[in-house]
Amino acid sequence: MARPLRQLDDEVLQRPFNKSQFIRLMAYLKPYRRDVLLALLVMIAATVASLGSPYLMSRAVGMLTDGRFDGIWLILLGMAALSLLGAAFTRVRVRLMDYAGRKALATLREDLFAHVQSLSFSFFDTHSAGKILVRVMNDVDALNDLFTNGIVDVLINSLTVVLLLVIMLAVNWRLTLIGLCILPVLLFLMFRFKRVMSRNWQFVRAKRSNMNGYLHEALSGMRVTQLFVREEENAQTFEGANDEIRTGWMRAIRYNAGFWSALDVTGMLGTVLVYYFGVRSMGQGLQLEDLLLVIWYLNRIWMPLNMLSNFYNSLLTASASMERIFDIMDEQPKVRDTQGARRMPQISGQVTFEDVTFAYHKDKVVLRNINLDIKPGQTVALVGETGAGKTTIVNLISRFYDVTGGAVRIDGHDIREVTLDSLRSQMSVMQQDSFTFSGTILDNIRYGRLDATTEEVIAAARAVGADEFISQMPKGYDTVVSERGSSLSTGQKQLVSLARALLNDPRILILDEATSSVDTHTEMLIQKALAVLLRGRTSFVIAHRLSTIRNADVILVMEDGRIVEQGNHEQLINLPGGRYRALCEAQVRFMQS
Amino acid sequence: MNSTRRILGLLKPYRGKVLLGFLFQTVVIVTRLIQPLITRQVVNDVIIAGRHQLLVQLCLTLLGLSLTRAVSSYVRVQMMERASQNVAYDLRTGLFRHLQTMSFSFYDRNRVGEIMSRMTGDLEGVRDYLAGGIITMFEQGITFFGALVFMFTLSWQATLTILAMLPLIAWIAFRFRSRIRPAFREAREQTATLNTRVQENLAGIHVVKAFVREQYERELFEQENRKLLGVNLKITDIWRTYVPIMHGLSEICTPLVLATGSVLIATGHMDIGTLVGVTGYIWMLTQPMRMLSQIINSMTRASTSAEKIFYYLDLGPSIRDDENPQTVSERKGRVEFDRVAFSYDQQPVLQDISFVAEPGQTIAIMGATGAGKTSLVRLLSRSYDVISGRVLVDGVDVRKQRLKELRCGIGYVPQETFLFSESLFENIRFGRPDASLDAVVAAARAAQAEEFIEEMPLKYETVVGERGVGLSGGQKQRTAIARALLIDPSILVLDDATSAVDMQTEYLIQQHLERSIQGRTTFIIAHRMSSVKNADLILVLNQGRIAERGSHQELMALKGEYWQMWQDQLTSISGEGGGV
């Protein structure tokens, strides 16, 4: 039987409106403030125009009742002019507001994306790609309505209500008050109902975002699902999640429908009251035209009032998106250029660790008191069990993380005192989880150095032994691979990534299990090629195969965040009772057993 | 418009609700249509003629109409929303079930992000159309014709005046429609492009940062983002070219009617009450025209969205059960490849592969990167179909077997591990959702996963996967091995399943596996010779063909490719000088 979907989403049902974030958001409209102000003026004019029509109409009825026909054409002309003016105003307002809002949002999205690019690894360790994606795309889109309509509308609606009230009261204050006596009931209904409504809609949204998360995962893992014949259970889980949405939706819609029905009846009650008392006072100076005007205007007041009551809710909705966006915007990159950071000069390749300690979290120390001195051009191999801290060490060299204690120096410069760009651009890091972007193989390799010529790309591919399989493909280097690189085997992806890393012509090369899925023969070819290519470059290699390790100048054997043995193959293999020696012996025994 | 008809077809199971919805909507409209007649009576009979005794009766009628309308519209909303939610549910879960039947090649070609946007945004467009769009069309249509009839009975002259404006407004509406439609499509496509751009950037963020390509990525992003902005502004421009004019023209109807009315009143052919009543219908007549653009929007959006959804639904799985599937009496794990050829995107991957694996044997597959090792084992579980030849499992062609039965007997450990955002417990028993904790622990132990799981704060309840705790590559692989062992398969496939674990752990895994694989036919893809030398049959693939086959001893005696690989590795371990 399928279990209910695990609720993993961080969507909170109710959150208060955050004023300072709203102000921050509005700052994006600042470059367009002239447009926004102009739009506002145009809208005020449009509002006045739209309110003018019923007024003129009621005057016309008055004139016709009295049999005064001569002035009527003026009123007709006025009404026609107002209609056309209204259309023109709308045209201008949409041009101004939509352009301003859309442009502001595009800027916000670009800022957000740029900020995400600046964040450090520790951020991406704790935030899944899916969630960040939702923020950059959907949450920014969710603000569109607020930007292009919301803010202007709220002002216009307020203005409409005020204008209507002023004119109605001026025309006949007694009748107006009678018509509005149901207003308190209505306001109560609006604000009471709306609260429940918005809670219900938020429930639906939360359920839906959870369903979307599940969907994303189910699609990504579809191959596993099919291989393990889990389709039925997954379908049931998915159906359960959808059923919750449907139920939540129907509950929410009940309130919506109820609200509209209540609005209809209460509104009509006001109209009826005006008729009743209006007709009774017809004899005492009340004109038909004024009665009609009050009724017509009364009918027009509910809509803007309703929209005003909606505004707070749409603010709350936008608030959730706003908060998620600024959550990321406020995230400071843990690793960044310090003040007065200098450019790293051409690296010659000396790498020093001075009593380096590192912890991802305060209570979990990963590296303890690491001391190292690697000479320019040396090849360093790191050996040890999974979790011993090998990857952490190389991640500190490229400053993907900052040390918790001690210092990492390259050519004597503390790497925290040079700019990140100048540091990393002289290094290439290749991780086990190789990644290909969707595009041609050529573009994928060229990612290592954007201005490389095709010849240089091919040379790099040839150097790592990737040229062979690439040129066998029908389209060769122009073969399009996808994001997950499904058309390439894992080993092939690693070769492409390796070529990319080499093309960058790095002074320091870091290979973190870079060839784990490559066959032995190819790997040996790579080794030979690397031996030539690495001449004069410092390199760090993490590998499980002894073949890769044994030729290194320095072998670091790691255990539990410490370096327990250090030396070259000859030295370590002759260390009685040494761990490296045990490792080699085990491996040989393993093969010969 | 074919897709529109198909959307409507989705409502069929709920036609009772839809009909009731339409019925109550009609009641709502009738109450609206009657209202101006009452107003006319109030003005003519009560105010002008002074028959005040009628007032209470008329006011009560107005209230009664309003109450009827309130109740009817409440019921109408319930009916239509229920129907549309049901359709959305049917469509979404149906699509999900359908996607689950799609073969690997479909997922090789279609990106998850794109499928996602079909199942969320596009589907919502269709639902919205069913819940609101159709009823709005119906509402506006009935209102329009109803108002026309009612107004005509009051004053045919005034009605004709408005009708004169109609063709113009309709023409503008259709111009609008033909221009906005491609723009919407463009916007949706550009959104998908931008979405993919961001998704890819985030998936490869490690590479981006390692190569200091943040600036470059930003430029790429901004390029696409600006394109999207451009399309959105184009939509704004189209909108503001047509829609305000439509609104303005419908507004002008009021002074036109007033002009006609004035002439009629002046000549004594109309009374004031009728004029007021007629103005009540102007709004009802012009509103549908104004709404025309909105209806067109919703309809266009829904039909383009539906096109995409139906495209998926119409795409049959390339791999499906045979019409007359054969049942395998006993799953022992005998595998036979009979002159198998396979190609991928017209690119030959495997050619002339023939071999037999007897139940319980271990088959090792070796070969260079891209030699076709993974493809070969994928044919076993019929993730792809052969081009020629056949793959037999327990004597029956895999294409003749029920997919589910076939796959239930195969424990597959893929090269790249995918875990779900669930507890380790649930992940391990993924293939056997009713397995007990003891069974899960036993499988974890056999896969050498027990140790690291016990070290986790929540042990087996630790949530992993994209939205949970990150595991190292080796930990993931061990979890995947446990997952495969738990289903107690007659065939076990280890596709480079230990590439990310260190050698000692691998050694331990193998020792444990030796016990677990007993009685199972096991396929091992590995690069380390140590993993393969005990296999009953070793296949060395070279460019999609079996270059060498035999046991370790046989292949060593052959002194061919296998022997060379063995030498390479021995040399690399013990050094040129030999001897440790």
Chain A to chain B Cβ contacts (< 8 Å): 454
Q: Among B62, B78, B240, whose Cβ lies nearest the Cβ of A257?
A: B78
* pLDDT (tens digit per residue) in A3-31: 556 655 545 445 667 788 888 888 998 99
**Cross-chain residue pair A265–B86, CB shorter than 8 Å:** no
Q: Among A124, A483, A524, whose Cβ lies nearest the Cβ of B205?
A: A124
d(CA B500, CA A516) in angstroms, rounded, equals 7
Q: Is the pLDDT of residue A356 over 70?
A: yes
pTM of the full predicted structure?
Answer: 0.78
Cα-based distances in Å from A572 to A555, B135, B219? 8, 81, 50
Structure tokens at B207: 């590479």
- Residue B419: list chain A partners with CB under 8 A: 221
The reply to whether CATH 1.20.1560.10 applies to domain A19-329 is yes
pLDDT score recorded for residue B23: 93
DSSP A400-413: SS--SEEEEEETTE
d(CA B70, CA B68) in angstroms, rounded, equals 5
Neighbour-count burial of B549, counting CB atoms closer than 10 A to its CB (0-12 exposed, 13-18 middle, 19+ buried): middle
Q: Are A360 and A561 in contact (CB under 8 A)?
A: no
pLDDT score recorded for residue B573: 59
Confirm whether the ipTM is greater than 0.90. no
Q: Is the pLDDT of residue A517 over 80?
A: no
Q: Among A242, A253, A288, whose Cβ lies nearest the Cβ of B93?
A: A242
- Residue A1: list chain B partners with CB under 8 A: 433
CA distance B356 to chain A (A): 22
Q: Are A343 and A418 in contact (CB under 8 A)?
A: yes
Give me the residue spans of the domains in chain A.
19-329
The Cα angle at residue A21 between residues A16 and A27, in degrees rounded to 5: 145
Structure tokens at B40: 């006319």
Cα-based distances in Å from A503 to A419, A427, A443, A472? 22, 11, 12, 21
**Cross-chain residue pair B247–A87, CB shorter than 8 Å:** yes
Structure tokens at A141: 């889109």
* pLDDT (tens digit per residue) in A233-244: 888 888 888 898
pLDDT score recorded for residue B27: 94
Half-sphere exposure of B472 (CA within 13 A, CB side): 21
Mutation test of the interface with chain A: which of B168, B214, B245, B369, choosing the one with the most A Cβ atoms within 10 A? B369
- Residue A482: list chain B partners with CB under 8 A: 108, 111
Q: Are A145 and A114 in contact (CB under 8 A)?
A: no
Helix (H, G, I), strand (E, B) or coil at B524: strand
Mutation test of the interface with chain B: which of A99, A145, A220, A227, choosing the one with the most B Cβ atoms within 10 A? A227
Q: Are B85 and A250 in contact (CB under 8 A)?
A: yes
- Residue B234: list chain A partners with CB under 8 A: none
Half-sphere exposure of A434 (CA within 13 A, CB side): 30
CA distance B226 to chain A (A): 7
Mutation test of the interface with chain A: which of B211, B491, B567, choosing the one with the most A Cβ atoms within 10 A? B211
**Cross-chain residue pair B240–A520, CB shorter than 8 Å:** no
**Cβ atoms within 10 A of the Cβ of B315, count?**
13
* pLDDT (tens digit per residue) in A488-505: 777 788 888 888 888 888
d(CA B204, CA A124) in angstroms, rounded, equals 11
Q: Among A3, A129, A280, whose Cβ lies nearest the Cβ of B203?
A: A129
Digitized pLDDT (tens) for each residue of chain B, 580 residues in all: 577 788 888 888 998 988 999 999 999 999 999 988 998 888 888 888 888 888 889 899 999 999 999 999 999 889 888 888 898 898 888 888 888 888 887 887 777 777 887 888 788 888 888 777 787 888 888 998 999 999 999 889 888 888 888 888 888 888 888 888 888 889 888 988 888 888 888 877 777 877 778 888 888 899 999 999 999 999 999 999 988 888 888 888 888 888 888 888 888 888 888 888 888 888 888 778 767 777 777 787 788 888 888 888 888 777 788 888 888 888 888 888 988 888 887 778 888 888 888 888 888 888 877 788 888 888 888 888 888 888 888 888 888 888 888 888 888 888 777 888 788 888 888 888 888 888 889 888 888 888 888 887 788 888 876 656 667 777 888 888 888 888 888 888 888 777 766 666 777 777 777 777 788 888 988 777 667 778 888 888 888 888 888 888 888 888 888 888 777 777 665 544 333 3
